[in-house]
Amino acid sequence: MNLERQGDSENSIGMAKINYPLFEAWRSDNLIDNCLCLNIRLGVDQEPILVQGLQSQKDVEEFVKGFEKGQV
């Protein structure tokens, strides 16, 4: 994790540097489809994009790779 320091040397505050986009995947709690869901956050002040219906971890990985290449 990269840290950026803010403030003077006596009162500095460590801030985590966040690189966007951020991806967060989880299993749906819907027992019927039991799919994977994915949140894509493009920036700190933006609502996440929700992707639903992914069937496997491999599908999530391929979607993220495609998104990063601009192919989605």
- Within a domain: 6: no
Q: Is residue 3 part of a domain?
A: no
* Cα 47 to Cα 5, 13, 16, 41, distances in angstroms: 27, 27, 20, 7
Work out how many domains the chain is built from and give that number.
1
Q: What is the pTM of this model?
A: 0.67
Indicate whether 25 belongs to any domain. Answer: yes
**Residue 60: both structure tokens together:** 């999530």
Size of the chain, expressed as the number of residues it contains: 72
Banded pLDDT at 1 (limits 50, 70, 90):
very low
Would 50 be classed as within a structural domain? yes
Q: Give per-residue pLDDT as tens, 8-51.
A: 555 555 556 778 899 999 998 887 778 999 999 999 889 999 99
DSSP labels for 5-43?
A: EES-SSS-EEEE---SSEEEEEE-S-TTT--EEEEEE-S
Q: Which structural domain, as residue segments, surrounds residue 63?
A: 19-69
Top-confidence residue, 38 or 5: 38
Residue 13 lies in a domain: no
Do the domain assignments include residue 52? yes
Instruction: With respect to residue 64, please indicate whether it lies within any of the assigned structural domains.
Output: yes
What's residue 33's pLDDT? 79
